[in-house]
Amino acid sequence: LMDYSKKISKQVAGIPRSGIRDFFELVQGRDDVISLGVGEPDFATPWHIREAAIYSLEKGFTSYTSNLGLLSLRKAISRYVDDFFKVNYSADSEILVTVGVSEAIDLALRALINPGEEVVFHTPCYVSYLPSIALAYGVPVEVPTKKEDNFALRADMLEAAITPQTRVLMLNFPTNPTGAVMPVDELEKIAQLCVKNDLIVLSDEIYCELCYGEDEHVSIATMPGMRERTILLHGFSKAFAMTGFRLGYACAPAPLIEAMMKIHQYAMLCAPMTSQAAALEALENGEAAMLEMRESYHQRRDFVVGRLNDIGIECHSPGGAFYVFPDIRKFGISSQEFAMRLLEAEDVAAVPGDAFGQAGEGFLRCCYATSLDELKTAMDRIERFVATL
Ligand code: PLP
């Protein structure tokens, strides 16, 4: 019998499975469960966007595209990014279309990191960050964010984590799993630290359209000295409800895009043409549908935050994304145990906060991209459950 453990690279063997995946294998095939688990819109992709994909197939657009992505799509991305983020990137050399932001994160880390160099990131964070850094032979350095700061990253805590080996800072605002947004003055301090320490910033702004406050989303790429050292990542999965299309993009100075391209052209060749056709339609005509979905998330956020606090589970009102991150520490059990017992007792699935790093222990991630009716039922069940603790 072959001993496969000796066949698998140490790097891969050392990577833990996603805590979310473990948890959701328990939920699989149980249709009685209300899931607040998976971080994905409950909407199907707007019909006109699906139609654009269908038309592209009808017309026989089934080939490879340029490695960088369709020029028409890159031009549309350039206009959109200019308009939304107020930063200009050349469609010819500064935009790379990828298979989701997921691929762009992997490309960027592999393009930037030499073995042993440090990558700083804030936790709790999206589950792929730590493994992606490790797979690129980087050394992950976590900076915890705190409930007292509404899970924004504090410049003083970041500064304390920076060493001469630090090469890259990863940012994700609005944040998965906390919904945090950054106060602009604090983000400016962080930008200054990046300039001072000559860091490259990988800024994952995949939730940027989904902000519910008065203030507009501000990208660190717009701050003094930052455009030249920022890789701005964005995609279509969240705001346009296109997770299954697997489409994202990176915007950065040409030499950085060229380095990422080198990996992309051999590993992926190009993003799927059908998805690129759909994404072009999303950018050209998708704004109304996107704003409608955002309004609906906004309502649901207010409902869920209101109910959780009424029930006696402290929960700040997150500025963006579609997650709430309630504090369950007062119940005196771990977030794993809380999530397990909630699932067993009341058929509600939410993700234990420690799946997003140790800084998430004592919290629960609930995705509210689920119908209001289901959210109401879920909140009633959570209320009944906490009464038993
Ligand atoms: N980045 C963050 C912060 C996410 O939450 C997710 C998905 O949940 C991704 C990236 C991956 O997105 P994509 O579907 O574009 O690969």
Q: How far is the centre of ligand 1, averaged over its atoms, from the C-alpha of 367 (Å)?
A: 14
Residue 174 DSSP class: S
Residues in the chain: 389
Evaluate whether 389 touches 377 at the Cβ level (below 8 Å).
no
pLDDT of amino acid 67:
97
- Which alpha helices (H) appear in the chain, and where do they start and end? 10-13, 19-27, 47-58, 71-85, 100-112, 129-135, 155-161, 184-196, 254-267, 273-285, 287-311, 335-346, 372-387
Give the tokens for residue 303.
Answer: 């409902």
Report which ligand 1 atom has the smallest distance to the Cα of 247: 15
* Beta strand pairing call for 364-367 and 323-324: antiparallel
Separation CA 120–CA 143 (nearest Å): 7
Ligand 1: residues with CB < 6 A are: 39, 100-102, 126, 172, 176, 204, 206, 235, 237, 243, 248
- Return the C-alpha torsion angle 337, 338, 340, 341, nearest 10: 110
Cβ atoms 218, 187 nearer than 8 A: yes
What is the mean pLDDT of each successive set of 10 residues along the chain, which is 389 residues long?
A: 91 83 78 88 97 98 97 98 97 98 98 97 96 96 97 98 98 97 97 98 98 92 98 98 98 98 97 98 97 96 97 95 97 95 94 95 96 96 96
Span from the CA of 102 to the centroid of ligand 1 (angstroms): 6
CB of 381 closer than 8 Å to CB of 36? no
What is the rounded CA–CA span in Å between residue 308 and residue 291?
A: 26
- Find residue 201's DSSP bridge partners: 169, 230
- State residue 20's pLDDT score: 75
- Give the per-residue pLDDT at 232: 98
Q: What is the pLDDT of residue 155?
A: 98
